[in-house]
Amino acid sequence: MKARSWQRRGIRMTMLATLAPGIAVAAPFPDAPIRIVLGIPVGASPDVVARALAAEMSVSLGQAVVVENRPGAGGTLATSVVAAAAPDGYTLNASGCSADAIVYSFVMSGRAPLDPFKDFTPVGQLMRDHWVVLVSPERGIDNLQQLAAMKRDAAQPLSFPSQGEGSSPHLQAERLARKLGFKALHVPYKDSPLTDLAAGRLDFAVQPSAASQGLVKSGKLKALAVLSSERLRSLPDVPTAAEAGLPDFTYNGGICLWAPGGTPKDVVARLNVELNRAAKTPAVAARFEALGVDPTPLSPEATTRTVAGMMADADELRAAVFGKSR
């Protein structure tokens, strides 16, 4: 009976196609490769995570999911491509959940910002990362109090690096300096500042643990505190900021997946399901564990709320540092 039912269904579909050739029947999503455009170089931790997730999504979606790197201009090269793409789910962006590459990086370059909720549609969150306060072992500093005391003994502000003015490393380092009561000098870098930090050419830094934990484990950098609410499995001997004497001083960043604004809800929902499914696979879980980042399976609605919250926090901190949020 089941075989006959399928035969009858096939006959009806054939007749429909024959009798009504002008009626277009939408192909199920996806029926072509999908690309995820990143504004960061190959090998950075978000790139590694995106490629691991893309490999698993390719299997479950039945179409290739490829990662394309377009670094530069604070991530705006990548977000501009996706904002201008057709809203069909085949061109996506992976970038910070605080929407810096969608909003703030445009402002910094004198251009009108994009809107993360109109020009884009939040799909889901790829990962949550962890941040650490770092110094060179040559400084002879073992805790945050000694870092603050070093300023009282120095004639110049303590220098710290970031990957750009107003970026998360910049804002979190300024926040730390204000909390500990010392003035700091911002030194922007185009590339990773960790080599100069390890060599003692910079005084301190606040950076993602995924990028720095190898240098900490090898003794080339010293981690004074992690900004997460709990200690990290990858750096179990490093205290939290609360344990180090700074209660209520936490920060976690995140990478979100974005589709162009106006992407159909059913397409966004499918992408979200497959993204969250991929994050639970053994291969991706192992990659997350190695990097020291967390999977964050959120719905599109929860992702939207996360983005709004992170943007509000960043705007508040920028207002404190620069006198204006954007």
Q: Closest Cα partner for 252 from 209, 213, 282, 287?
A: 209
Rg of the chain taking only CA atoms, in angstroms = 23
Q: Closest Cα partner for 195 from 136, 142, 235?
A: 136
Q: Which residue has the tokens 């910094």?
A: 108
CA distances from 58 to 29, 50, 75, 248, 252 (A): 13, 12, 25, 41, 29
Are 33 and 65 in contact by the 8 Å Cβ rule? The answer is: yes
pLDDT in tens, 13-71: 444 344 445 445 567 899 999 999 999 889 888 999 999 999 999 999 999 999 999 98
pTM of the entire predicted model: 0.85
Q: Residue 326 corresponds to which amino acid?
A: R
pLDDT in tens, 133-142: 999 999 999 9
Q: What is the model's pLDDT at position 16?
A: 39
Q: Where are the alpha helices (DSSP H) in the chain?
A: 2-19, 45-61, 76-83, 104-108, 144-153, 168-180, 194-198, 209-217, 265-279, 282-291, 300-322
CA torsion sign, 183 to 187 to 192 to 194?
negative
CATH fold of 34-129+253-322 reads D-Maltodextrin-Binding Protein; domain 2 (3.40.190)
Collect the ranges in the chain with pLDDT lower than 70.
1-26, 151-154, 324-326
Q: What is the model's pLDDT at position 17?
A: 44
Q: Closest Cα partner for 246 from 325, 169, 172?
A: 172
Domain boundaries, the chain: 34-129+253-322, 131-226
Q: What is the model's pLDDT at position 7?
A: 41
Secondary structure letter of residue 163 according to DSSP: S
Q: What is the model's pLDDT at position 11?
A: 41
Neighbours of 326 (CB within 10 A): 15
Q: Report the CATH number of the 131-226 domain.
A: 3.40.190.10
